[in-house]
Amino acid sequence: MQRKHFLFSALVFSFFTTFSQETPGNPFSFKWDNGFKLESQDQQFKLKFGGRIMVDHAYLFQNSALNETYGPLEAKSGTEIRRARLFFSGTIYEHTFFKFQVDFAGDETELKDVYIGVGDIPVVGNIMIGHFKEPFRLSALNSSKYTTFMEPGQNDAFAQSRNNGILLLNDFLAQRLSAQVGAFRNANNSSDDAFADDGYVITGRMTGLAIRNIEKRQLLHLGAAHSYRKPESKAYQVAIRPGAYLAPKYISTGILEDVESIALTNYEAAYVHGPFSFQGEYLNATVKTIADDFAFSNFYGEASFFITGESKNYKSSYEGFDRVKPNRNFGGKASGAGAWEVAVRYSETDLTDKSIFGGKQSDLALGLNWYLNPATRLMVNYIWADIKDQGNATILQGRFQIDF
């Protein structure tokens, strides 16, 4: 762990040392723009470094029916450092880009985004090689810094978000149409481990902006994606928490064995009209085994409204939504109230089919977000979870985060 800390520090130092030796005719500017940025005058070199800290606390409650089925909760409350990340990214000689991100939360240091890319390639567009997010599910592509709720949609549990591989991505028609396709080495859905190796994956996605009016703050994003997964371990499992990372996984397929392939299909939609926004997705998983084929599914829909008049900011097809900047930051010279957002989300997951009795779960979540400034946010979620024929659980959780 100490070795990884040293390597990260050495990498950052070497980059800054290298670029500080550029000729006086191409000076660099160093500035704060919700993160530290270093840019050359001719814009050929752009470097950024920053991080995020997210501290979560949750209170968990389950009724007597769940107690009888799963046993009493081991702990009725908990606190954790959900994320503690540092990253270093940039563009070199205008067309080559990279990112190195590491997470220090939990017991181990874990690599997240680690990739090199080349842009503006004729016909192809952009190519990325390394460890990064598969082009699949809007909820997984949105950065954890900018999600409406503390945890993404539960379709996130059907496959890991990051993987090792190569990705081609391009935008067309003035970025109104986007396409991404990638081949990946790790077909295991158990983690985002950069060193995992279990078969191969082919994932593709297309999205379009049916409406985009920046002046009126209107947006309609539509998309579809498919992922074919062939695990060497011939094993696959989906286990779902009720919208809280500290909560138990009440429903699960268990470990399915003799799996020949997994086909995941996802449909996504997002709509923004001023302070109002909606996002929804439907995912279907078809698991082909030697004995039989099984189908599982999830869908969710979430809506939010900024009481203080702000609006969600769309970044790109592959990256989803961007940072929210309050009209007036809390405190300081602005003496404002920050940005206040209320949200609601409903989700259903079905992990039961034929001989697999994984369970069915529906969740209703209410959210309140207070953006003190563009880099600091306080989140509160209240969740009702119904596990069909098993019982009910409720969760009250909060997060304090800073990112830059």
Residue 188 in this model has a pLDDT that exceeds 90: no
> What is the pLDDT confidence band of residue 107, given thresholds at 50, 70 and 90?
confident
- Mind listing the pLDDT tens digit for each residue in 284-297? 999 999 999 999 99
Please state the rounded mean pLDDT for residues 322-331. Answer: 94
Residue 155 in this model has a pLDDT that exceeds 80: yes
Q: If DSSP codes are grouped into helix, strand and coil, which group holds residue 72?
A: coil
Specify if 30 maps to a domain. no
Cβ atoms < 10 Å from Cβ of 255? 12
- Please give the model's pTM, rounded to 2 decimal places: 0.90
pLDDT of residue 198: 84
- Mind listing the pLDDT tens digit for each residue in 229-245? 999 999 999 999 999 99
> What is the pLDDT confidence band of residue 196, given thresholds at 50, 70 and 90?
confident
pLDDT of residue 25: 65
CA-CA distance, 201 to 325, in Å (whole number)?
37
pLDDT of residue 9: 52
> What is the pLDDT confidence band of residue 220, given thresholds at 50, 70 and 90?
very high
Q: Tell me 155's DSSP state.
A: G
Instruction: Output the average pLDDT for the chain.
Output: 92
| 345: Cα within 13 Å, side-chain hemisphere | 27
| Domain interval for residue 255 | 2-25+39-403
CA-CA distance, 279 to 148, in Å (whole number)?
10
Q: Tell me 243's DSSP state.
A: S
75/21: higher pLDDT: 75
From the number of C-beta atoms within 10 Å of its C-beta (0-12, 13-18, 19+), residue 304 rates as buried
Q: Percentage of the chain surpassing pLDDT 90?
A: 84
Residue 13 in this model has a pLDDT that exceeds 80: no
Residue 402 in this model has a pLDDT that exceeds 60: yes
Evaluate whether 260 touches 290 at the Cβ level (below 8 Å): yes
Who contacts 21 (Cβ-Cβ below 8 Å, separation ≥6)? none
pLDDT of residue 28: 85
CA-CA distance, 364 to 336, in Å (whole number)?
31
pLDDT of residue 194: 65
Please state the rounded mean pLDDT for residues 328-352. Answer: 93
CA-CA distance, 364 to 348, in Å (whole number)?
9
* Helix residue ranges, H only, 136-255: 138-141
Specify if 33 maps to a domain. no
Residue 31 in this model has a pLDDT that exceeds 80: yes
Domain count, the chain: 1
Please state the rounded mean pLDDT for residues 364-373. Answer: 98
Q: Percentage of the chain surpassing pLDDT 70?
A: 91
In this structure, what are the phi and psi dihedrals at residue 294, rounded to the nearest 5 degrees? -130, 145
pLDDT of residue 62: 96
Distances (CA, A) of 9 to 3, 15, 40, 46: 10, 10, 22, 19
76, two tokens: 């009725």
Please state the rounded mean pLDDT for residues 76-98. Answer: 96
**CATH (domain of 172):** 2.40.160.10
Evaluate whether 100 touches 85 at the Cβ level (below 8 Å): no
CA-CA distance, 22 to 13, in Å (whole number)?
15
